Amino acid sequence: MPTPFASQSHRHVKKEKGMGVVPYLFVAPYVILLVIYGIVPVVYAFLLSLSHPDGSFAFLDNFIQVVNDYRFLTSMKNVGIYVVIWLSSLLILVVLLALLTHQAFQHFSKIARFVYYIPGALAGAASTLVWMFMLDPSVSPVSSFLNSIGIESFAQSVGPDKLPWIFAVIAFWSGAGGWIIIMYGALNGIPHEVIEAARVDGAGMFTTATRIQVPMILKWIAYMLIMSFATGTQLFVEPQLLASATFGGVSESWSPNQLSLVYAFHYADFNSAAALNMILLIISLIVAIIVIRKIKLFEVE
């Protein structure tokens, strides 16, 4: 005859078994969407990149054709400069603003976080249109400033040497707010006792930030860099809109993703377009692996 304790233990074990399924149910929708919209397209692009248009095996022919294209290195250089500027600004300004919001702006941190996030409410294309108006001296509210630095036309505002900076500003303006809020949340995860112990030991705001807070959110910073690098290499909307607005003033192959579009829909060469995108994916994976190994991102402390 089962005792009350045995019956209670049996129910507890049964409950634990039931709970064991719950985490899988939570992640299942993400895994399904990841397979449909992430893994399957990548596998399809990989197979396309190794094939000729007639379906025969091409091995590396499409990759060689893309790399030998005179526009390939120029587009990679353009995006490389843009990514360096953007990631540098993210690394410095996002962490600095998150620290200031957490330490110095505590009394109005809710307002600060709301203000940071407002630009992120605009979609990428809308953000680009806003900045196109801002940079056009004929309609810009800061036309006096633009004229004072010698810019009198929209074509001058979006000169080739200024484009990486302009795209970095647009990307920072529209995307930094979300990362500031994420970093703020990570800073809130640091035990209060640790911060108090540092203050008791005489650590000021700067020492606390550099010796305790930044090292303790380093994995979040690494995560931001990985995601932002992958996003940056896929730059497309901003140069594409500027190319249309300037009637060819900005090249339609300014970024690798634009060059991929040219291959796919101007030349109907989807295989070379797939090869170009596989190159971008490989570069992003290499950078992600380096950062993950360097920061030990997945190690449990």
pLDDT in tens, 263-291: 999 999 999 999 999 999 999 999 999 99
pLDDT for residue 5: 46
SS (H, E, C) 59-116: CCHHHHHHHHCCCHHHHHHHHHHHHHHHHHHHHHHHHHHHHHHHHCCHHHHHHHHHHH
The pTM (predicted TM-score) of the whole model is 0.84
The DSSP element (H or E) to which 289 belongs, if any, is: helix 270-295
Res 18: pLDDT: 57
| CB-based burial, 204-227: b 16+ in 10 Å, e otherwise | eeeebbeebbbebbebbbbbbbbe
Across residues 136-155, what is the average pLDDT?
Answer: 86
